[in-house]
A and B are shown apart, each in its own frame.
Chain A
Amino acid sequence: MMGNIFQRAKALPLSGKLGLALVIFWLAVALFGPMLAPYPVGAFVAYDVFDGQSAKHWLGSDYLGRDVLSRLMSGARYTVGLAAAAALLASTSGTALALTAAVGGAKVDEPLSRFMDMLISIPSKIFSLVLVAAFGSSLGLLLLIAAFTYIPGNYRIARALAVNLAQMDYVQVAKARGERRFYIAIAEILPNMIHPLLADFGLRFVFIVLLLSGLSFLGLGVQPPDADLGSLVRENISGLGEGALAIIAPAVAIATLTVGVNLLIDAIGFSGKGKGQ
């Protein structure tokens, strides 16, 4: 199994390898970052604010004189962890509902689809703002908000795929064989939509990173002294005029994370298709 994964990684095109490297890098930062960070997250360690790069502070200092590198290494955990968990939750529940709709016939499909249309019409930022205002910001709530917001989108995509696949001859054969709906959904339909769903997962992940960063930017996301990548950008916004590393570094971090995930997922979908031919 491990060898298989290694071989597939080797077969990826260059862009995929780059994406894979970025993803592994950010996963490693998320897992081990807080342990390796040179200074505690909230410690004031520099005498100057918006200090430039130096041997003591590789990425300079922020608006309060804290070490940017340390804050970045601790912040990545929130962004990567929250976004991955929320994207996984959104994709699995959306896809499960979509499969139910595809094999359940019009009686299940219609109400479910209309309900999802209703959800999709709620603006995600306003919805998050209301919930955060009502319950106060907490990691659990952020996770639920992000997942819930992106279930309908995933459902739409997965349902469109599943409904098409449910018309395929091999599904008809399975039905005529007397197979149960659960088997048809899991064994016949799901394996054939996994690649587009992976691409969709990548997109959802990126959207959620941006949503969480946006919320943090508004001050409603992860609360100080902890910070995710979005709040790092926000709290250092006053350094923008000086072109401080403190604001550039977290922005670049968000960009490399999202671009890396997309490169990897595009490459996986591509090589998977190539194999099927």
Chain B
Amino acid sequence: MGRPPGEPGRVAYLYLLPAFVVYAVFLLYPIGRAVQISLYDWDGLTLGRWVGLDNYAAILSDERLRAGFGHALVLIVFYAVIPLAIGLTLAAILNHAQVRGLGFFRTVVFLPQVVAMVVVAVAWRRVYAPDGTLNALLGALGLDGLTRGWLGDHTFALPAVGVVGTWFESGLVTVLLLAGMSRVPAELYEAARLDGAGAVREFFAVTLPSVRGEIAVALTLTVIAALRTFDLVYVTTRGGPGESTSVPSFEVYHRAFGLGQVGSAAAIGVTLTVVIFAISFAINRLADKGTT
């Protein structure tokens, strides 16, 4: 293959070098080191003992960890799927309605993203408390039968944590989609209208395909957030009641700093990274397939 004249060849790599060095030192090396540690039985203090893939085998056979990964998958529904549905609806309405003060709405919807997750978690912990806002609200509506200690209830703790995620991520998704929708040329809508499409038809025929890229970005971001949930669980339930809200990231922290099982913690971390990588890859593949 001929190269355009004057185009520098290998020397281009030299320009990449500084960035690559930073990338290698702060990302590749730690990842490699984590992979390495995950192959040892190491308490973080004494000399590690090589155990090969034993830590990974233990992850597969550990019922509690498998449950943790299961909980993370449930959280994907709350962090990614529901916010996407909410975001699409809200953005479609906001985009069409030509509301006054759109900027204001955008800010309000986006606000949860600005607040640190720990603060969010502390606030929601109060909302969910037995004498908290949610139960007071239910009581005021005459629904006393439904009140409970939400975060301490084996059935409702995980959904309760998930709803916080929904609240947190919906704004981000909405703003992303809104940006995408505002780029759809008005002529497309006009053409759809002339062809006799209603609002719903128009949404599925014009809006949805146009924001495919934004959906992929939104899903990637929120799915990753769901899978690596740590602070929310750490502050609200610490994995309880029982083990009903345990998640892999919490387990990484717990094993590395609480139990001193650094090798096992690294193995969970690496596994989680692989899972996140695979899911994000799949999402982007699917989105790309649609556009080309």
A, B assembled together: no
Residues of A within 8 A of B (CB): none
Residues of B within 8 A of A (CB): none
